[in-house]
Structure 1
Amino acid sequence: MRFCLHPLHGMLLMPQIISLLILGVLVVFVLPTTAEADQALLPQALHGCSDHCGNVTIPYPFGMAKGCYRGPEFYINCTTGTTPDEEPIPYLTKRSGTDNLIQIHVTNISLKGELHVLQPITRACDADLSVGLETDLPLPPPFTFSNTKNNFFTIGCGSSGNLLGFRPGLGLDGHTLSNIHRYCFTFCDDNSSGNDTDLVITDDSCSGFACSLSSLPSGVQYISIILSRSIPTNWDSSYPCRYAFLAEKSEFTFSPNTSFQQLSNTSHLPVVVNWEIGDHGPCDLEQRSKLVDFACKGNSTCINWPNVIRPTGYICQCKEGYQGNPYLPDGCQDIDECKSNPCYAGSCVNTPGNYSCICPNGMKGKSCKDKSKTIVIIVMGISVILALLVGSSCSIYWGMKQRRYIKLKEKYFQDNGGLLLQQKLANHGIETTRIFCAEELEKATNNYDDGGVLGKGSYGIVYKGILPNNRTVAIKKSKIGAPTQSEQFVNELVVLSEINHRNVVRLLGCCLETEVPLLVYEFITNGTLFEHVHGKENKRSSLTWELRLKIAAETAGALAYLHSSTFMQIIHRDVKATNILLDENYTAKVSDFGASVLIPLDQTEIVTFVEGTLGYLDPAYLQSNQLTEKSDVYSFGVVLAELLTSKVAFSYDRPESERSLARMFVCAVEEERLNHILDGDIVSEGNIETVRNVARLAKRCLKLKGEERPTMREVATELEGMRIMANHPWGTNADDNLGPEDQTSLSLGSPSNTSDDDIRGDCGPCTTITTGTTSRSI
């Protein structure tokens, strides 16, 4: 047996981290950081011109009125809204060579040579579409689509996206334009079952499955996007729409869960466009020409803007130490660095485009950060000593904390019966099950959230959990302070470790390193038999008689296995409807072995404290404290009575003489009025004989004297025989071959051929048996 210990890797790194922090503090003390300059907002447009259209800044060389822009290519048409509350919208406006008006919605203008614009999405939602849809995205010169910040996307199942682009430059055929082609194809797996619930896209890689992308070359000015369907797919009904569009990389990321919905409600997406000053070529030509209209003004520099094969234009930027609009006269203004106090010591003197520090004695450098060699050595020595002291102290502290953490887990391991468990498993020759770590089970249950509670019992709570491998499990957490919780936990684990039966819930592992012990079971999906028979949330069961008989036979088989097929006899001691689980196929699974007892094969009974549930308790066991396998037979007889009547085992809502279902059931059989308490929804002429036989069997299981009850093996054999007979072609029609007198004798409630005088001494008020200080009704 082992238990999980997680070394505190993060804790072991803390000394190094704290040492670095100490050194960082010393460095901050010696080398202070420089604050950013606090500069007033500088003008962006020519004097007398507006620099805003709505909430978008319009800097020169762009403008919105005649005389406010450098050239017609930089004209921005600021359209007013239809209502006073509607923001104006800026459009880049120009007429093409065919006199078609180009209007592009601008959302931002950067002086670094970029525009952010909105471009339409090409979409098709007709599943029968075979002819492509085309969308044109023209840009007037000197504007081009950014090749570093945009991607061409095609979204959908069985979609084909074709991007045809043109860019200026010397083409292979001698023309001034070269063609650019980009193709994107998407597919969806057609090997699905065709069920719409199976057609769910989960791949978000955009590598072909429902999404494909391609990059652009530089310098593309005109784009035409063609969208068509490549092949029809089974996915058309689930994802009927296809899309092709150019979009800014940072503004669109494909996600199967959201992208299709977002694209269906979106008509445009942001795209980044490059711009340049292209009047007379790149910087060298402009500067050699010494033209009066050279765009870069005082305190600015010219930067070539690369395009296709060779630079075709340029942009301007302020020199270092200056800020503002480099296209405006006196637009680049000096930054007063002294406002951010860049000098560590001494005084700061601002100069055009720069600054200087007047340093005190012993300091030098531009920011007075450098000291004499002796001072540096002293500071470094103190820093190293402090770092060593702090690092050593932290190592000792975290080491002690780690040892306490390990000792605490060892304490929990022992308190939860780990040593006892090792001893019992070794004595029985049982191999250990998986040992789970506490952190793993906390994560699986969302820190034991109340919303995941599957059920509560006298010794603990059962939670639904999902392990890292996505396996759903049931986790039983013992209650803090529950009496003999360690013994109960170890007992249940030992019992379950040796059981291998399809109708017994399977134990997957345990956890011993927590304050209370934990057991991990397979998850049974369909709830308890109690919920199905008596209704959950006031809803009646839909269990047919055939299903009830099947569940009874499977449960009896599991109990018979426990009584006779293991190396030591196992008495469940708490057989009841809530401890019988049902899976998705309504297969019975016996659960909750916290009260079970192991009896050596050479013994037939054991004296122990009475445990069980009111209504299911064996009266002989309750009176004598002597537990035998026949106690499980009695409890199972109550379960059979529940299956026949759909009544709970014990209820204070019923009259006193009828509170105990066992007593009421036996009295009804003896008084030939069983038909009065049977569930009429499950009884029919076709199954009346089988129902009567099961009632007889239940009556025998409920005998007061344990030695007169059948064994669970006999019960299981009889129930399985009834199932076979009921499913046989003559099983449901056997009564058709009987005469009227014979059929009358088989009516429900007819007395059994066996003597039942010892089942109940009388059918009057409930008998009360008192043992010790505990009084229980049976």
Structure 2
Amino acid sequence: MQPEQNMSRMAINTVLLLVVLHSLVAIASAQQQPALARPGCRDRCGNITVPYPFGIGAGCYRDDGLQGFQLECDESGPSPPRLTIFGYNHHLAALSLASGETRAYLNATRECFNSSGGFVERNNNTSYMSLGTSPYIFSSTKNRLVALGCPNLGFFVDAQGYYVSGCMSVCRPSQYAMPGLCTGVGCCQSPIPSGVSFYEPHQRNFPLDDPTFGTNATTCHYVFLVETEWFSYSDRVFLNRTDDFDVPVVLDWAVRNVATCSAARRNATDFACRSADSECVDSTNGAGYRCNCSKGYEGNPYLDGGCTDIDECQLKDEHPCYGLCMNMPGRHVCICPPGTNGDATTKNGCRPKDKFTVALKALTGSGVGLILLGSMLCCLSLWLQKSKLIRTKQRFFEHNGGVILQQQMRSYSRAAGDATGGFKIFSAEELKKATNNFAADQILGRGGHGIVYRGVLADSSVVAIKKSKMMEEAETKEFAREMLILSQINHRNVVKLLGCCLEVEVPMLVYEYVSNGTLYQYIHGGKGLNADTALDTRLRIAAESAEALSYMHSSASPPILHGDVKTANILLDGSLTAKVTDFGASKLAPSDEAEIATLVQGTCGYLDPEYLMTCQLTDKSDVYSFGVVLLELLTRKKVLSFEGPEQDRSLVSRFVMAVKAGRHDELMDDKVRKDMGPEALEEVTHLVVRCVSMNGEERPGMKEVAERLEALRRYQRHPRGQTGGGDLGEEEDQERSLLGGKQHRDVDYKFRPHDVLDLEEGSTYTFSL
């Protein structure tokens, strides 16, 4: 018995020592209350606490380029000090770090009328509130819009003047009035959406001669945005008021110079959560984030060391403990006294210990052993799966030419510095993360070659990621060489290839992101091109596209043939600059006949008829397809139409027949006929006819096409080049020089209505041979 008594006394002494140490730590913590403002900065304005990142005076607030954290305290008036937002002058009544909220005041908008409904007066106080790009946004959960008085339609608009939210309040005779909540009789209310940063109230009166709305009308009408908990409507006294009054509104604030916590953590210097014991939380109202002290801590997470440990043992009501309480960093421990066990957090929860029998020990040991064995088996299974995934990725990487591509990139780098032009080999995990696991809402488009996703890389750059459906074995062998050559293309009108991913079965390509959709959508999808679109814009898009193809044909080494030129493969950026893209069709010019059979591809309506018969892709195949694109731009008609007679299904066939009949101007878009003079219309007509010639040798090169389109643009800008300019007269030679000289017009175009080619799936499309 003696050894057991000694051990019991040692346990009691240990617990008592821990309790004494805990008491000393609690006293020290109580003496050092955490600061809320920066050192040397004032932390109050009147009775309002001003915690950092807010501050009064230079160096006392967070300066991240967005106004709003800098505050001013006006103590000059007779009333209590007034706390306002610097640059906005909005009056603040409270600030909260924990909830991310602040309370401001707005003046209720008032309009008063006489007994006949005539307007009398309105209050002159400015009642709109603009939060701009500040950290504040109106709380959508704690505010509502109220229209008071009747009849009254109250609403508010955003900074562009568009309706945001509102409601209608009507009147009823006194004997039939329905007192109670603000539900539409004398008073109405409506919620507001999230993300609102501008508030400008309006209200509309109704004629009093309509008894439906005007019976028992009130003298004054109000509309105001107000904190939900502050406003209550239960009697007619509030309804019949005629004075001016202020109402509180709740603003949600956050650090908004970056969108999310994950983006903010990339810049450790600017990251607002400074305390080591703090957490970052994404904003629920608009972009941005806030900081909170971790569980078990309190204070200001925006200051270094601002979050301090909470002594839960001193908070008996919140953390009841009926045993021995020991405070620890971020938590506390409540245990039963020595010799007892049970739940010390409940009254009478500690009971004398039961004897721990040998059988119970054996059972416990067996259970622990089984748990350890199961854990080891799970870890082994995960390790095997991970190893298998790594081997699979490596096999795909080598099969897709990754090793060869790495060697070629190093060789280029040694020979000419950064010759790869920023080309990068991405991992599958990077692209998976960039597209949110290839989510459906990230899809930019689908095509015969695969799916294109929008992605955001780790450096916040936006890219287009093409996930192909399949790749033939012959293409795989040349993939590394073609990728390195295609990455060297650097032209303002060609979409830049930024890199690829080789760790998957079919390589994925990463391209520059172009924001404004395709030329096809611009022409046919209602995204911008209409009868009022400037002719110069169309000619510029055509000239830029032709310049890009000319560059690929003439300046790239080796030359690059596109193979699928169409309006869907010409993208437009925010300024409508054309960028030729190719998610899977572009090819290096074939070096021998063995490569020809693998190149047959393209889109019906744009396909070169000569290419269909020979399966040989040439630069003149791209010229034909571009001629169809140019015709589509000028006519705003689709290249294939399955309505009407068979001979009219092909736009090219219809156009050439119209040229022979001298009625081709009827196919042109109204804007083209209106703005393009006869001379320019004749030039562009012959340019299109040459491009879509059945004989490839009769077609011009892309360089000539680009030059003539640019000449047409210059001619159109010339005053005499506009419609209605009359005959050229004595300026004929000068204006003809703007067109770059006369085109060849002695080509025999032999288009016949009944010459057809049967293409895929048995569909019949008219072509002229």
TM range (shorter): 0.5 to 0.7
1:754 paired with 2:745, answer yes
Task: Give the direction of change, closer, same or farther, for the CA distance of 1:665–1:446 in structure 2 (3 Å limit).
Answer: same
Aligned to 2:533: 543
Letter in 1 for 2:756: T
Aligned to 1:405: 389
Give the alignment partner of residue 242 of structure 1, picking from 91, 95, 115. Answer: 91
For residues 490 and 181 of structure 1, the distance between their equivalents in structure 2, rounded to whole angstroms, comes to 60
Letter in 2 for 1:563: H
Tell me by how many angstroms 1:502 deviates: 0.8
Aligned to 1:453: 443
Aligned to 2:511: 521
Letter in 1 for 2:430: E
Letter in 1 for 2:518: T
Aligned to 1:163: 46
Letter in 1 for 2:135: P
Tell me by how many angstroms 1:503 deviates: 0.5
Aligned to 2:492: 502
1:479 paired with 2:469, answer yes
For residues 713 and 599 of structure 2, the distance between their equivalents in structure 1, rounded to whole angstroms, comes to 37
For residues 732 and 316 of structure 1, the distance between their equivalents in structure 2, rounded to whole angstroms, comes to 88
**Residues 102-251 of structure 1: matches in 2 within 5 Å?**
162-163=45-46, 208-209=69-70, 226-228=80-82, 233=87, 235=88, 241-245=90-94, 250=98
1:720 paired with 2:710, answer yes
For residues 320 and 636 of structure 1, the distance between their equivalents in structure 2, rounded to whole angstroms, comes to 82
Tell me by how many angstroms 1:526 deviates: 1.2
For residues 551 and 319 of structure 1, the distance between their equivalents in structure 2, rounded to whole angstroms, comes to 74
Task: Give the direction of change, closer, same or farther, for the CA distance of 1:188–1:452 in structure 2 (3 Å limit).
Answer: farther
Letter in 1 for 2:94: F
Deviations 1:660-705 (A, max 9, x none): 1111111111210011111113322554432331111011111111
Native 8 Å contact 1:525 1:584 kept in 2: yes
Query: What SS is found at the alignment partner of 1:409?
Result: helix
Tell me by how many angstroms 1:620 deviates: 1.1
Q: Which is bigger in relative contact order (C-alpha 8 A, separation at least 6)? A: 1
Aligned to 2:187: none
Task: Give the direction of change, closer, same or farther, for the CA distance of 1:582–1:734 in structure 2 (3 Å limit).
Answer: same
Native 8 Å contact 2:650 2:765 kept in 1: no
Letter in 2 for 1:521: Y
Aligned to 1:256: 135
For residues 185 and 487 of structure 1, the distance between their equivalents in structure 2, rounded to whole angstroms, comes to 63
Aligned to 2:547: 557
Native 8 Å contact 1:510 1:520 kept in 2: yes
Letter in 2 for 1:547: T
For residues 683 and 581 of structure 2, the distance between their equivalents in structure 1, rounded to whole angstroms, comes to 27
**Residues 369-768 of structure 1: matches in 2 within 5 Å?**
396-418=380-402, 431=420, 433-479=423-469, 486=476, 493-494=483-484, 496-536=486-526, 540=530, 543-592=533-582, 594-599=584-589, 609-685=599-675, 687-732=677-722, 735-738=725-728, 754-757=745-748, 759-762=749-752, 764-768=753-757
Query: What SS is found at the alignment partner of 1:451?
Result: helix
Tell me by how many angstroms 1:483 deviates: 9.1
**Residues 251-330 of structure 1: matches in 2 within 5 Å?**
256=135, 258=137, 262=142, 264-265=226-227, 267=230
Native 8 Å contact 1:506 1:521 kept in 2: yes
Native 8 Å contact 1:529 1:578 kept in 2: yes
Task: Give the direction of change, closer, same or farther, for the CA distance of 1:188–1:766 in structure 2 (3 Å limit).
Answer: farther
For residues 589 and 181 of structure 1, the distance between their equivalents in structure 2, rounded to whole angstroms, comes to 52
Tell me by how many angstroms 1:625 deviates: 1.8
Letter in 2 for 1:163: G
For residues 187 and 260 of structure 1, the distance between their equivalents in structure 2, rounded to whole angstroms, comes to 27
For residues 526 and 519 of structure 1, the distance between their equivalents in structure 2, rounded to whole angstroms, comes to 20
Deviations 1:368-402 (A, max 9, x none): 9xx9xxx99x9999999989877766665444333
For residues 675 and 726 of structure 1, the distance between their equivalents in structure 2, rounded to whole angstroms, comes to 17
Tell me by how many angstroms 1:492 deviates: 6.6
For residues 58 and 639 of structure 2, the distance between their equivalents in structure 1, rounded to whole angstroms, comes to 56
Deviations 1:64-120 (A, max 9, x none): xxxxxxxxxxxxxxxxxxxxxxxxxxxxxxxxxxxxxxxxxxxxxxxxxxxxxxxxx
Tell me by how many angstroms 1:534 deviates: 2.0
Tell me by how many angstroms 1:626 deviates: 2.3
Letter in 1 for 2:395: K
Task: Give the direction of change, closer, same or farther, for the CA distance of 1:321–1:200 in structure 2 (3 Å limit).
Answer: closer
**Residues 1-150 of structure 1: matches in 2 within 5 Å?**
none
Task: Give the direction of change, closer, same or farther, for the CA distance of 1:188–1:152 in structure 2 (3 Å limit).
Answer: closer
Task: Give the direction of change, closer, same or farther, for the CA distance of 1:244–1:648 in structure 2 (3 Å limit).
Answer: same
For residues 581 and 763 of structure 2, the distance between their equivalents in structure 1, rounded to whole angstroms, comes to 27
Tell me by how many angstroms 1:722 deviates: 1.6
Number of residue equivalences: 503
Structure 2 unaligned regions, length at least 5: 1-30, 103-133, 144-225, 231-247, 251-313, 325-335, 737-741
Query: What SS is found at the alignment partner of 1:683?
Result: helix
Percent identity (aligned):
36
Aligned to 2:165: none
Task: Give the direction of change, closer, same or farther, for the CA distance of 1:427–1:707 in structure 2 (3 Å limit).
Answer: farther
For residues 315 and 401 of structure 2, the distance between their equivalents in structure 1, rounded to whole angstroms, comes to 77
For residues 44 and 370 of structure 2, the distance between their equivalents in structure 1, rounded to whole angstroms, comes to 64
Task: Give the direction of change, closer, same or farther, for the CA distance of 1:492–1:150 in structure 2 (3 Å limit).
Answer: same
Task: Give the direction of change, closer, same or farther, for the CA distance of 1:654–1:543 in structure 2 (3 Å limit).
Answer: farther
For residues 316 and 575 of structure 2, the distance between their equivalents in structure 1, rounded to whole angstroms, comes to 75
Structure 1 unaligned regions, length at least 5: 1-145, 154-158, 166-179, 190-198, 213-223, 271-313, 324-336
Native 8 Å contact 1:459 1:482 kept in 2: no
Task: Give the direction of change, closer, same or farther, for the CA distance of 1:594–1:777 in structure 2 (3 Å limit).
Answer: farther
Letter in 2 for 1:162: C
Native 8 Å contact 2:523 2:636 kept in 1: yes
For residues 230 and 647 of structure 1, the distance between their equivalents in structure 2, rounded to whole angstroms, comes to 60
For residues 698 and 51 of structure 2, the distance between their equivalents in structure 1, rounded to whole angstroms, comes to 87
Deviations 1:543-588 (A, max 9, x none): 3211110011111111111111011111111111110111111111
User: Which TM-score applies when normalising by structure 1?
Assistant: 0.53
For residues 701 and 589 of structure 1, the distance between their equivalents in structure 2, rounded to whole angstroms, comes to 21
